[in-house]
Amino acid sequence: MTADGSGRRTDALADLSRRRLLAGLGGLGAIGAASGAGTFAYLTDDERLPRNRIGAGEVALDVSCSDSSGNGGCTVSNGLVSYTPENPIDRGDWGDVTFDVSVRTNPARLWFATTCPPTRDPLGEELDVSLRVGDEWVFPSGSLSELRREFADGLRVDDRDGGACLDPEGDALEIELAWELPADAPADAGGETTAFEFRLYTEQCRHVSEGDAAGSNPYAGIDCDEPRDGCPNCDYAGKVDVDERIVRSDAGDASTWLAIDEGPLAGDAYLLVTDVEYKDDDEEAVGVRFDLVDANGDPAGELCEVRIKGGNDTATYPIEPPSTDTGETLYAPENDGGNPAGISNVQIDVCVDDDGGNGDDDDPVDCECGGNVRYRDLTFRYDGGSDAAIRVTTQRTGGGDEVVFEEATIASGGTFTADGSDVSQTWANVGTSLGQNTTIEIVSGGDSGASERVEVHTSCSEVLAIGDTFGSDGSGGTLYELVGGTFTDENALCGSEDLR
């Protein structure tokens, strides 16, 4: 623990005015769908983006960026703002990037939250960074990985310059990250690159009182796993057959990820390709680097071994320590000519608990969700004080939304059921179920300040249990409680005490 009690290093990088430490970093989540420098995003509360949210009322956001080399270097794709340095970062390199965020339509509160770092990230552990929001260095000094763990549970940023709420007529809010890779950093940290990304959540100030604003942070409670040296068991998790040309994935576009199509993680996990090497004809991939992610782009497990098949042979790569990404480009075995063969499939093993992830034999309940087992229906209790007309929709994996609870007036203490038994889905062999995200909306009525729209993640990336609560009632309490539900295999939803 350091002298300031923060647990982070206090030897802030010298001369911040000369070397503005870096700004960006893997995972603050953003809103938008555009690319290139300049203004990236204009959104309303009608847009639904995985893990990125817009709160009550219509809010439009602009996001732009510039770095120390004078380049924009930023992209926005399907809600993810991303900045990647033009060149790999080597020992002794430094730089910075600044994001300007502004609202167009109505005064709004703003939160951001980092995504958790990979459990193995040599560059992230060694890259010294500092983060400034407005006039305040909210993270004076520490590693990029420390920063990502620090703000995974969200940070309100609209009130950093004294007053609450961003004003459409005011100046843009600056978010700046300055970075430096020390000259004495380990060799495996140099010559690497990384993307710095963030998500934002915003809500109109007039829809939620300042006294209730603390309950609006959608990232509250998220906690990152600390790195570990090994895992109890390294078990087979799945395989990807390579039938088409492998391309570098777009982090914001799941259609560019390689879906696990065989094994325990089939339908639930993907390979997000971060680097590819090809044969001379630039068509067939011979090497690949990837992250293991779920449908939301979040880590789906820790890789402990990867096998790359090419030709008649298979190359085996232990991942030590276990990590959510491969850490380097992995190659297919060499052919008779001494060159890497084209990749025909990729097999992965992941860390599992001592019981193999299946619990004890005397466990009387089955709380598993994933693969061919999804949420069929969920029943919620409405805890608002005033009657409200409520409607519920869920996403279809093929695109669009489906109503799963028709608009009806619900009294305080009344229940309603989101039923996905007639909603066709394309993932795994489920057939029908609730989609990746299910949205509860108050169409009319309800309490002043209560959440108008509440999104529940129903993709199995987050475990749901009876007793979970969602939304704000506008008076410091929650708006909905999950009181029942059924999986597609007919098993009932579990209570929190039953979850493994």
484 and 346 in a common domain? no
Lowest model confidence (mean pLDDT) among 228-232, 256-260, 448-452: 228-232
242 and 186 in a common domain? no
Confidence (pLDDT) at 3: 30
Query: Kind of pairing, strands 453-457 and 401-410?
Result: unpaired
212 and 127 in a common domain? yes
For residue 151, is pLDDT > 50? yes
What is the C-alpha end-to-end distance of the chain, expressed in Å?
33
Number of other CB atoms surrounding residue 9 within 10 Å: 14
Residues belonging to the chain: 500
433 and 311 in a common domain? no
309 and 183 in a common domain? no
385 and 299 in a common domain? no
The residue whose two tokens read 């993810």 is 80
- Residue 319 sits in which domain range? 233-352
Tell whether 318 is covered by a domain: yes
480 and 412 in a common domain? yes
Please give the order of strands across the beta sheet that includes 94-103. 61-67, 94-103, 173-180, 128-133, 136-143
328 and 385 in a common domain? no
Is the bond preceding residue 364 a cis peptide, omega within 30 degrees?
no
Within 13 A of 416's CA, how many CA atoms are on the CB side? 23
- Residue 335: C-alpha distances to residues 148, 242, 331, 340 (Å): 41, 18, 12, 6
Tell whether 259 is covered by a domain: yes
Q: What does residue 207 show for φ and ψ, rounded to 5 degrees? A: -90, -20
Tell whether 156 is covered by a domain: yes
Alpha-carbon distance 43 to 31, whole Å? 7
Alpha-carbon distance 152 to 382, whole Å? 29
Strand partners, 66: 98
Tell whether 200 is covered by a domain: yes
For residue 128, is pLDDT > 90? yes
Say if CB 441 and CB 451 are below 8 A apart: no
Say if CB 235 and CB 349 are below 8 A apart: yes
Q: Residues 205-224: pLDDT tens digits?
A: 887 778 777 777 777 777 77
Tell whether 359 is covered by a domain: no
Structure-model confidence comparison of residues 136 and 229, the more confident one: 136
Domain stop point among 187, 216, 245: 216
Tell whether 221 is covered by a domain: no
Q: What does residue 305 show for φ and ψ, rounded to 5 degrees? A: -155, 140
Confidence (pLDDT) at 1: 28
82-108 burial, b at 16+ Cβ within 10 Å, e below that, comes to: bbbbeeebebebbbbbbbbbbbeebbb
204 and 237 in a common domain? no
Tell whether 132 is covered by a domain: yes
Quote the mean pLDDT of the chain: 77
Q: Residues 403-412: pLDDT tens digits?
A: 999 999 999 8
**What stretch of H or E contains 61?**
strand 61-67
Q: Residues 8-63: pLDDT tens digits?
A: 333 333 232 222 222 222 222 233 322 233 333 333 222 333 333 444 445 677 88
For residue 166, is pLDDT > 80? yes
**What stretch of H or E contains 308?**
strand 303-310
Average pLDDT on 316-345 reads 87
Number of domains in the chain: 3
310 and 193 in a common domain? no
209 and 68 in a common domain? yes
193 and 157 in a common domain? yes
Quickly list H helices, 119-263: 122-126, 144-150
Tell whether 194 is covered by a domain: yes
Closest Cα to residue 480, out of 393, 395, 416, 408?
A: 416
The DSSP letter of residue 176 is E
Confidence (pLDDT) at 359: 32
CB within 8 A of 178, min separation 6: which ones? 13, 16, 19, 20, 21, 22, 23, 94, 95, 96, 129, 130, 132
Confidence (pLDDT) at 257: 93
Say if CB 58 and CB 141 are below 8 A apart: no
Number of other CB atoms surrounding residue 405 within 10 Å: 22
